[in-house]
């Protein structure tokens, strides 16, 4: 027999209680990991490789305020600008379905490769899209979800704009962090709207990362004190401005995480206390035959730690396996394109499990350390 064998036998001597304890830890850690994954998706959206060079330019008044088309030429003159495209959020419903889960944007097709280079599709599809004013390209996730093929009609019913788009699928792209979006010709929208001379936003590609600050400053300065002042910011900053709207959700999720961990500590500490209390006389015998306080403390700690570790493997490991294998976009109705259990989240869960193992063993270990052999022996009669 080894000391570790002795500890394992003790930990699972009451199999039902050990199983329930492990399950409670596992379920709680699964919940914690799930919440952290959701929180992570809210606060750290995935970025494309080209995101560091992209700059979003919107109206300083609000995101819904359009920008004049004439700004295009001025932005191109700003030193460090390599390319730009208009990008107008259409916000329509596919075939009029209320649960349309993807976004649609009008843009300049010729600029796709320059500004959103990570969107990959066969060359002939790109050329077909550029050539056909009423065509669109569809993200691979959306194409799969709606079983869309090249040449299919792709009708969008306008909700923000008083027009409907009668599009034809010219290409299916993939390679972006969100392969759900649909892009069509900005010109087609302009035509239907009677050429209003405006776009929703500008998306600019800088020549290099070093150019990005100067480009942002240059664009903001170019339209300062005009009737259409703009707010230029990095793609990351633009995304974060959306996320700031989720502030209360973040607080809520963080609060739930805290409650989960606290409840977990109480449950585990209670279980360990019960397990140790019913073994007080045995622990007293161990003391009598020569085991010292720190050795008994180590036994209890190892037992508690072991149960937490098994719970961690089941809960956090289970979450890792589950979220790695499911189609998050479908499961969350498009709210999250992916649900990734990052190493950082796994590390947090492991830390919680470790702290749990230590904290829940502290009270019973201290009780055993304080207990004299004679007092312990009295508990048996």
Write the CA distances from 297 to 18, 293, 312, integer angstroms: 19, 6, 22
- Cβ closer to other proteins: 10 or 308? 10
Q: For residues 230 and 247, what is the distance between their CA atoms, to the nearest angstrom?
A: 25
Give the tokens for residue 213: 């600050």
Say how far apart CA 203 and CA 224 lie, in whole Å: 18
DSSP state of 163: -
Q: Which positions from 235 to 274 touch other proteins by CB under 8 A, shown as an x/- string?
A: ----------------------------------------
Residues touching other proteins, count (CB under 8 A): 25
Beta carbon of residue 373, minimum distance to other proteins (angstroms, whole number): 4
Question: What is the rounded CA–CA span in Å between residue 20 and residue 316?
Answer: 17
The answer to whether residue 1 forms part of the interface with other proteins (CB under 8 A) is: yes
**Out of 63, 256, 346, 377, which residue is the one contacting other proteins (CB under 8 A)?**
377
- The answer to whether residue 328 forms part of the interface with other proteins (CB under 8 A) is no
Q: Which is nearer to other proteins, 350 or 373 (CB)?
A: 373
CB nearer to other proteins: give 245 or 289: 289
Taking the least distance from each CB to other proteins, the nearer of 10 and 28 is: 10
With CB under 8 A as the contact rule, the residue among 13, 17, 60, 250 that binds other proteins is 13
The residue (of 29 and 283) whose beta carbon lies closer to other proteins is 283
Instruction: Return the closest-CA partner of residue 205 out of 52, 67, 81, 113.
Output: 81
CB of residue 266 to other proteins, shortest distance in Å: 27
Can you tell me the distance from the alpha carbon of 159 to that of 92, in angstroms, rounded to the nearest whole number?
A: 5
Task: Tell me how far, at minimum, the Cβ of 351 lies from other proteins, in Å.
Answer: 31
Exposure class string for 192-201: b at 16+ Cβ within 10 A, else e? bbeeeebbbb
Considering only residues 27, 38, 362, 373, which one is a binding residue for other proteins as defined by CB under 8 A?
373
- Are residues 272 and 361 in contact, defined by beta-carbon separation less than 8 angstroms? yes
Which residue do the tokens 């209390």 mark?
277
CA distances from 120 to 48, 87, 174, 298, 343 (A): 12, 18, 5, 57, 28
Tokens of 281: 């006389």
17 interacts with other proteins by CB under 8 A: no
Q: Site for other proteins (CB under 8 A): which residue of 125, 192, 281, 363?
A: 281
Angle formed by the axes of helices 247-277 and 15-43, to 10°? 160
Using CB under 8 A as the binding rule, whether residue 287 contacts other proteins is answered as yes
Query: Per-residue contact track with other proteins, 293 to 312, x per CB under 8 A?
Result: x-x-----------------
- Establish if 288 lies at the interface with other proteins (CB under 8 A): yes
Q: Which residues bind other proteins (CB under 8 A)?
A: 1-3, 6, 9-10, 13, 281-282, 285-293, 295, 372-374, 377, 380-381
């Amino acid at each position: 027999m080894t000391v570790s064998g002795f500890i394992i036998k003790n930990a699972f001597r009451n199999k039902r209680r050990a199983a329930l304890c492990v399950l409670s830890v596992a379920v709680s850690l699964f919940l914690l990991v799930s919440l952290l994954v959701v929180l992570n998706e809210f606060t750290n959206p995935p970025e494309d490789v080209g995101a560091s060079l992209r700059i979003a330019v919107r109206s300083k008044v609000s995101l819904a305020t359009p920008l004049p088309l004439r700004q295009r030429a001025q932005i191109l003159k700003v030193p460090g600008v390599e390319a730009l495209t208009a990008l107008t959020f259409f916000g329509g419903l596919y075939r009029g379905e209320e649960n349309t889960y993807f976004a649609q944007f009008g843009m300049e097709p010729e600029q796709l490769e320059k500004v959103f280079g990570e969107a990959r599709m066969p060359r002939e599809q790109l050329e077909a899209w550029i050539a056909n004013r009423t065509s669109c390209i569809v993200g691979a996730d959306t194409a799969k979800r709606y079983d869309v093929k090249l040449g299919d009609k792709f009708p969008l019913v306008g909700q923000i704009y008083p027009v409907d788009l009668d599009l034809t699928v010219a290409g299916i792209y993939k390679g972006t962090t969100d392969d759900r979006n649909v892009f069509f010709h900005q010109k087609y929208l302009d035509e239907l709207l009677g050429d209003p001379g405006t776009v929703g936003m500008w998306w600019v590609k800088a020549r290099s990362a070093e150019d990005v600050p100067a480009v942002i400053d240059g664009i903001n300065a170019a339209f300062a004190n005009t009737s259409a002042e703009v707010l230029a910011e990095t793609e990351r900053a633009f995304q974060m401005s959306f996320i700031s709207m989720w502030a209360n959700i973040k607080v809520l999720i963080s609060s739930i995480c805290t409650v989960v961990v606290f409840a977990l500590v109480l449950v585990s500490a209670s279980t360990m206390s019960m397990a140790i209390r019913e073994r007080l006389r045995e622990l007293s015998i161990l003391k009598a035959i020569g085991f010292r306080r720190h050795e008994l403390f180590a036994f209890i700690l190892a037992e508690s730690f072991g149960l937490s570790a098994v719970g961690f493997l089941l809960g956090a490991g289970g979450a890792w396996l589950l979220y790695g294998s499911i189609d998050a976009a479908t499961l969350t109705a498009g709210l999250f394109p992916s649900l990734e259990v990052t190493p950082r989240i796994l590390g947090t869960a492991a830390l919680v499990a470790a702290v749990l193992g230590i904290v829940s063993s502290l009270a019973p270990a201290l009780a055993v350390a304080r207990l004299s052999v004679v007092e312990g022996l009295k508990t048996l009669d």
